[in-house]
Chains A and B, each alone.
Chain A
Amino acid sequence: MRLFGLFLTLGLAGVTSAAIHQSWPDWWWRIQKPTPEALFVHRLQPFVEQTCYECHDSRMRKGDFAIDRLSDPASLQRDREAWERVLQHVSNNLMPPAGADQPAPEDRAKFVSALDRALHPIDPKRPDPGRVVIRRLNREEYKNSVQDLFGITFDPAADLPDDDSGHGFDHLGDVLSLSPLLLERYLAAAEKIAAELIPDPMPPPRIFVAMEGQWKGSQVGPSGRASEGMLTWKVTTPAEGSYKLKLRVYEDAAGPEETRFSFAIGKTQVAGLSAKGSRKAPREHSYDVDLPAGAVELQVTFLNDFYEKETATQPAQDRNFYVESVKLEGPYLRPGQKRPQGKLPAWLSQRRPEEAQEAWLARAFTLVMRRAFRRSPTSEEVTRLVTLMIHSQKAGDSVPASLQLGLQAILVSPDFLFRGEPPASPNSGERIVRLSDHALATRLAYFLWSGPPDDHLLSLADSGKLRDQLAAETRRMLADPRAARFVDNFAGQWLEVRNLPLRTPDRKLYPDWNKELALSMKEETLRFFADFLTNDRPMLDLLTADYTFLDARLAKFYGVKAPSESGFSRFTRPEGRRAGIFNQAGILAVSSYPNRTSPVLRGKFVLDKILGTPPPPPPPNVPSLTERADKKKPTTLRTRLETHRSQASCMSCHAMIDPIGFSLESYDAIGRYRETDDGQPIDSRGKLTTGEPVSSPEELGRVLATARREEFYKNFASTLLTYALGRGLDYYDRPTVEAIIRQAGAQGYTLPAFIDAVISSIAFQYQRNEAPTDAGSSHAAL
């Protein structure tokens, strides 16, 4: 996140190290005294002229970039992206390139700070809620929406392609694209869902094919074959009616008689048929048969097997009978059969006596659309949908088929698939506008339930009371079982334990690892996080808690007594193991390689995921670990890393990363406690750049929860806000994040307090009032 990364890199560039660890100083945005223009003239331009012009003037244009297009204050707005790149490059020490004259560290720092202020002016009196791009439902949200709307546990989402992710989450509007493949899948999913929800008692005719593996009989070959015996095929018919049975058969003729067979299915029995046909040109026998709905068995019997051994005068005589394929086509209405009437699902309002079909459909589908679109549909929308269904009937579809079609149209509609957020008063002329109550209800529901708002939420939005009852409504939602999805999706992704079942640790080194264990580890962390929700726990406990949740499998893995015989129960850890997530196997495993631990990965995990200060990427052309002076001396990973760190270009970052990782070295790559590694005693001593010793998970947790608590809170608030909004944060979100921390702090920094603070934040409640653009803009692809 740029928000915090910048401070880190500033620190590297030579500003006092305190700047790394303090919250952004107030003057950063409060004192806007130097205008962007003044900053440009006094700070930016002189630095640029002195430092960049040599290669990036209009003549040299190195890297195809001429900085002279950034020669006036207006370019800060006009050429914002170019300036952002300048900021990124200069602050990350990427420019000027190695070998070129370098500016003094303090000049670089001043330039970076000035450019940051000029590019990112923040006016606390004019807060900016940002704008969330229209978001399509991701796979998870799609599945949950179908489940919550229609009460079926049905997972067409398994057929949907992977969602792309960004900022560590898979539901960001910017990166969720909609490809033709995905739309095809949405159509297919809608067909499956509609067929399950509104069963058609007389579905359109299909062809049922006897598949390999379904045949039973004396000899079973490629697609079934009967020789001297009987073949059976079990098929499930969808409805009572007439079916066309098509048998393709052939024979090896031999002996005096024709090859004869019989078949029986349902009440139909036909005997004495002649097979005829050859392997190359099988003969098709076609019959109309009446069948009931449900399981039906077809029996095909070869009646007159014949075999004579070869003799002196003639070769062997072998009569055989083969069934090449069997197809059953139907159902069709029998002459005189009445089309059966199906039962409609409970969520669809029943037709009243005397009610015209159009009126009924409009009434029933208004309710469906309201829930699916998360707002009341307009009468025009309802009329169009009813027209679609009536047309379908006129084209020959049955009533259930036409209702299915209506439902499919809802499920493929952009109003269902996308979460648009119309503002409450778009034409007010205001710079920012409140979200409509329905948009707010939708944000809330997908934040806390990863699913659609329920009727209660929608009613509150309808009556305009949602904002009055926001706190109570949040409580209700968090107490609902659907809040478990928040834990899964937020904590599972933030702390990366969702990856556990996909991990493949070395089986030889870690024979105990298996999928069940991985799932238990994931569950431990998720239950632990869920406990913050249900028991109102302060977030710092994440780093220092003396308890966790274990099942028997994990207890065995940790070598402790299981707290209960079945399922997960709370477990109080022994002394020396009281470091919240840092004692959890799942966390330690996801930050390891498959065959060894990595202090670098673990250090980076903590810096990035817990403190929100990810180390900058390594500079280009890092010397590799092997290019060390003495190649003969045996070295441990630790000493090799220490050597690596002694190189100036590596030290600045690895001095931050590695000690954190070392403090967790007492746990192997699947998170099991160890005292030795490869025969060597574990050395878990570490020291943060700020001097605090960290030599165990407990010490690490304690130090982070005290000396680094501000960063922890800031990171947590930012991560939660990113998740709640479904967009990456930007510089203008800084005041929002600050406000969230303040508000949560007033209520003890508990998880529910953070959630409340996010929900009441300006970014969650408001959006920029951006005028709709002309629909025929250059973006239009059609």
Chain B
Amino acid sequence: MAPLHRRQFLRGIGTVVALPFLESIVPTSVLRAAGSAAAPPLRSAFIYMPNGVNNDYWWPKGNDRNFTLASSMQPLEPYKLDIQIVAGLGHTKANPNGDGAGDHARASASFLTGAQAKKSANDLRLGQSIDQVIAAQHGAKYRLPSLELSCDPPRQVGNCDSGYGCAYSHNLSWRTENQPMPAERNPRLVFERMFGSGEIIETAESRAARARQRRSILDFVRDDARRLKAGLSRDDQGKLDEYLTSVREVELRVASFENFSARPDQSLPTGIPDNYDEHIRVMCDLLVLAFQTKSTPVATLLLAHEASGRTFPHLGITEGHHSLSHHEKRPEKLEQIRKIDTFYMEQLAYLIGKMKSIKEGDGTLLDHSLLVFGSGIRDGDRHDHVNLPVILAGKARGAINPGRFVDYSATPMSNLYLSMLDLYGIQAERLGDSSGRLRLV
């Protein structure tokens, strides 16, 4: 009798301790197949927290390389040299610009688009988001052109924000000016989307048969849609175009699925964890897995929708986040916001740590990635959109020098995006309200 050598295999990943599970179920063969040869590609993730921050405890003291982290960012202390704290970026298109109330809807809508949301409950118009620009250009080379994740609870009914459709405050990613990309919040479905499902695995033969069947269905319904479309008015045709575009993209996916035959032997047997922090961490694990396996060039993660009224009972916070964010400068409310900010920083620290722990080429996954964390509102009590709380993490393959506190003073956040597109080799003249490029440091 000898003791068990291997790490105990934990049941499910619904518990914090079980999180290393994800690594263990992806056989090294998959990880090997995904990488190695060429230089690792750039991968970026955009992570959104709603309702602004407590600015008194957010901004570091000092400047450039000589700074100390403020209280809310303490969880990032171990990663101080892996992050760049950015001041001075803003979104003017989140301002009313004559449209009155609705700063929350505009904050999340403009965050990745730099565009002014059309004020309407049903006539959505915004702009393409940066992740979708990247996906459109590079997505075809990956299992998934882009990955949209959310840790928000199921949608509540009711109107969202002062006459803006709910789509604006619940979707970061917009494929076109009027088509949001819905985010997935169920970890199991995210995993299945990347690697297929279940403890029952298709044989190569069955998989080929299913790909053939799917292709024949897609052919069939495309013809249907084209015929249907011919007799329709313009608005209706727009809806059918969405359908046809989706058919086309799923066809590419079916084809690429055959190419990406390497896949884990086992599936992820879990749904949505009950606890918020576990949910966030599982989603972070999946994000890391997607990047590690080079399954996607870009991802978005909505921690909670803009104006979310989430409570944080485990932090002793029972008032909704949004309501708290209207703190009226009251110390007890500001203190609770600081706690929430710190909580989100803990999650970010987890993600950074995880990416840093993964070796890739001659560095780490974090070295070849760029995380953009932020909120579209600076202070929830003022609903302002200048000098947004933004943190970059990772080296973006050497384009970013972390370990700094940088102030770009009154620059459109979209300029950052335009510079990021450069890093992806995408020639773009502008994105949203960009006025130029940001000189990345």
Interface residues of A (CB under 8 A from B): 63, 65, 85, 88-89, 92, 94-95, 131, 133-134, 136, 159, 161-170, 172-175, 177-184, 187, 190-191, 204-209, 211-213, 219, 221-223, 225, 227-228, 252, 307, 318, 320, 325, 329, 381, 384-385, 388, 391-392, 395-397, 401, 405, 408-409, 412-415, 417-418, 420, 422, 426, 492-493, 496, 498-499, 502, 504-509, 593-596, 608, 616-620, 624-626, 727-728, 770-773, 775, 777, 779-782
Q: Does B429 contact A (CB under 8 A)?
A: no
- A166, A178, A180, A777 — which one has the most chain B CB atoms within 10 A of its CB? A180
Bound Cα distance A150, B166 (Å): 33
- Inter-subunit contact B157/A252 (CB<8 Å): no
- Inter-subunit contact B246/A180 (CB<8 Å): yes
- Inter-subunit contact A625/B7 (CB<8 Å): no
Q: Does B438 contact A (CB under 8 A)?
A: no
Q: Knowing A94-B100, A164-B170, A384-B220 touch, does A593 contact B319 (C-beta < 8 A)?
A: yes
Task: Report B25 CB to chain A, min CB distance, Å.
Answer: 9
Q: Does B240 contact A (CB under 8 A)?
A: yes
Task: Report A331 CB to chain B, min CB distance, Å.
Answer: 11
Q: Knowing A85-B98, A391-B216, A412-B221 touch, does A782 contact B193 (C-beta < 8 A)?
A: no
- Inter-subunit contact B155/A165 (CB<8 Å): yes
Task: List B residues 397-412 near A (Cβ within 8 Å).
Answer: none
Question: Which of A94, A162, A222, A772 is the one whose CB lies under 8 Å from B230?
Answer: A772
Question: Which of B162, B201, B245 is the one whose CB lies under 8 Å from A781?
Answer: B245
Task: List B residues 233-273 near A (Cβ within 8 Å).
Answer: 233-250, 253, 265-266, 269
- Inter-subunit contact B216/A388 (CB<8 Å): yes
Q: Does B231 contact A (CB under 8 A)?
A: yes
Bound Cα distance A352, B312 (Å): 64
Q: Does B199 contact A (CB under 8 A)?
A: yes
Task: List B residues 308-353 near A (Cβ within 8 Å).
Answer: 309-311, 313, 318-320, 323, 326, 328-330
Bound Cα distance A329, B213 (Å): 21
Task: Report B299 CB to chain A, min CB distance, Å.
Answer: 13
For B158, the closest partner residue in chain A by CB is A496
- Inter-subunit contact B237/A777 (CB<8 Å): yes
Q: Does B66 contact A (CB under 8 A)?
A: no
- What 9 pairs between A and B have smallest CB-CB spacing? A617-B101, A506-B318, A161-B182, A174-B122, A183-B246, A166-B121, A180-B249, A134-B236, A166-B122
- Inter-subunit contact A222/B217 (CB<8 Å): no
Question: Which of A63, A134, A181, A412 is the one whose CB lies under 8 Å from B217?
Answer: A412
Q: Does B212 contact A (CB under 8 A)?
A: yes
Task: Report B113 CB to chain A, min CB distance, Å.
Answer: 16
Q: Does B167 contact A (CB under 8 A)?
A: yes
Task: Report B22 CB to chain A, min CB distance, Å.
Answer: 14
Task: Report A196 CB to chain B, min CB distance, Å.
Answer: 15
For A238, the closest partner residue in chain B by CB is B200
Question: Which of B98, B213, B244, B249 is the one whose CB lies under 8 Å from A397?
Answer: B213
Q: Does B123 contact A (CB under 8 A)?
A: yes
Task: Report B262-299 CB contacts with A as 1/0, cut-off 8 Å.
Answer: 00011001000000000000000000000000000000
- Inter-subunit contact B206/A593 (CB<8 Å): no
Q: Does B441 contact A (CB under 8 A)?
A: no
For A158, the closest partner residue in chain B by CB is B186
Q: Does B223 contact A (CB under 8 A)?
A: yes
Question: Which of A167, A225, A418, A420 is the one whose CB lies under 8 Å from B159?
Answer: A167
Bound Cα distance A5, B92 (Å): 28
Interface residues of B (CB under 8 A from A): 1-2, 4-9, 11, 24, 96-98, 100-102, 119, 121-124, 148, 153-159, 162-163, 165-167, 170-171, 175, 178-184, 186, 189, 193, 199-203, 205-206, 209-210, 212-214, 216-218, 220-221, 223-226, 228-250, 253, 265-266, 269, 309-311, 313, 318-320, 323, 326, 328-330, 381
Q: Knowing A168-B157, A179-B181 touch, does A222 contact B6 (C-beta < 8 A)?
A: yes
Bound Cα distance A381, B11 (Å): 49
Task: Report A248 CB to chain B, min CB distance, Å.
Answer: 11
Question: Which of A184, A508, A595, A619 is the one whose CB lies under 8 Å from B250?
Answer: A184
- Inter-subunit contact B157/A496 (CB<8 Å): yes
- Inter-subunit contact A782/B266 (CB<8 Å): no
Bound Cα distance A134, B242 (Å): 12
- Inter-subunit contact A782/B318 (CB<8 Å): no
Question: Which of B102, B158, B225, B231 is the one whose CB lies under 8 Å from A414?
Answer: B225
Task: Report A118 CB to chain B, min CB distance, Å.
Answer: 21
Bound Cα distance A101, B4 (Å): 82
Which residues of chain A come closer than 8 Å to B310, judged between CB atoms?
504
Which residues of chain A come closer than 8 Å to B165, judged between CB atoms?
164-166, 175
- Inter-subunit contact A499/B1 (CB<8 Å): no
Question: Which of B11, B213, B318 is the one whose CB lies under 8 Å from A507?
Answer: B318
Q: Knowing A175-B122, A594-B318 touch, does A773 contact B237 (C-beta < 8 A)?
A: yes
List 23 A-B pairs, Cβ < 8 Å: A85-B98, A175-B124, A180-B250, A180-B253, A181-B182, A181-B193, A187-B214, A207-B202, A212-B11, A213-B11, A391-B216, A405-B217, A413-B221, A418-B228, A493-B158, A499-B158, A507-B318, A594-B318, A595-B319, A616-B100, A618-B101, A624-B381, A772-B232
Task: Report A693 CB to chain B, min CB distance, Å.
Answer: 29
Task: Report A249 CB to chain B, min CB distance, Å.
Answer: 15
Task: Report A664 CB to chain B, min CB distance, Å.
Answer: 18
- Inter-subunit contact A420/B228 (CB<8 Å): yes
Bound Cα distance A26, B326 (Å): 43
Which residues of chain B come closer than 8 Å to A405, judged between CB atoms?
213, 216-217
Which residues of chain B come closer than 8 Å to A136, judged between CB atoms?
239
Task: Report A179 CB to chain B, min CB distance, Å.
Answer: 5
- A159, A165, A206, A318 — which one has the most chain B CB atoms within 10 A of its CB? A165
Question: Which of B4, B175, B193, B237 is the one whose CB lies under 8 Å from A179?
Answer: B175
- Inter-subunit contact B98/A63 (CB<8 Å): yes
Bound Cα distance A504, B171 (Å): 23
Bound Cα distance A179, B167 (Å): 13
- Inter-subunit contact A172/B221 (CB<8 Å): no
Question: Which of B4, B11, B203 is the one whose CB lies under 8 Å from A221?
Answer: B4
For B381, the closest partner residue in chain A by CB is A624
- Inter-subunit contact B200/A620 (CB<8 Å): no
- Inter-subunit contact A593/B320 (CB<8 Å): yes
Bound Cα distance A492, B225 (Å): 34
Bound Cα distance A414, B244 (Å): 10
Which residues of chain B come closer than 8 Å to A172, judged between CB atoms?
122
Which residues of chain B come closer than 8 Å to A775, judged between CB atoms?
226, 229-230, 237
Bound Cα distance A507, B319 (Å): 11
Which residues of chain B come closer than 8 Å to A131, judged between CB atoms?
233, 235
- Inter-subunit contact B2/A329 (CB<8 Å): no
Bound Cα distance A208, B266 (Å): 10
Which residues of chain B come closer than 8 Å to A616, judged between CB atoms?
100
Bound Cα distance A167, B202 (Å): 44
Bound Cα distance A780, B232 (Å): 12
Which residues of chain B come closer than 8 Å to A63, judged between CB atoms?
97-98
Which residues of chain A come closer than 8 Å to B226, judged between CB atoms?
775
Question: Which of B11, B157, B199 is the one whose CB lies under 8 Å from A170?
Answer: B157
Task: Report B374 CB to chain A, min CB distance, Å.
Answer: 23
Bound Cα distance A212, B6 (Å): 13
Task: Report B114 CB to chain A, min CB distance, Å.
Answer: 15
Question: Which of B178, B183, B231, B247 is the one whose CB lies under 8 Å from A772?
Answer: B231
Task: Report B327 CB to chain A, min CB distance, Å.
Answer: 9
For B310, the closest partner residue in chain A by CB is A504
Bound Cα distance A420, B240 (Å): 10
Bound Cα distance A397, B208 (Å): 12
Bound Cα distance A441, B241 (Å): 26
For A508, the closest partner residue in chain B by CB is B318
For B147, the closest partner residue in chain A by CB is A181
Which residues of chain B come closer than 8 Å to A89, judged between CB atoms?
98, 100
Task: Report B46 CB to chain A, min CB distance, Å.
Answer: 17
- Inter-subunit contact B148/A181 (CB<8 Å): yes
* With A164-B182, A594-B318 already in contact, 8 other A-B pairs whose C-beta atoms are closer than 8 Å: A165-B155, A175-B167, A412-B217, A414-B243, A594-B320, A624-B329, A626-B330, A775-B226
Task: Report A623 CB to chain B, min CB distance, Å.
Answer: 10
Which residues of chain A come closer than 8 Å to B100, judged between CB atoms?
88-89, 92, 94, 616-617, 619-620
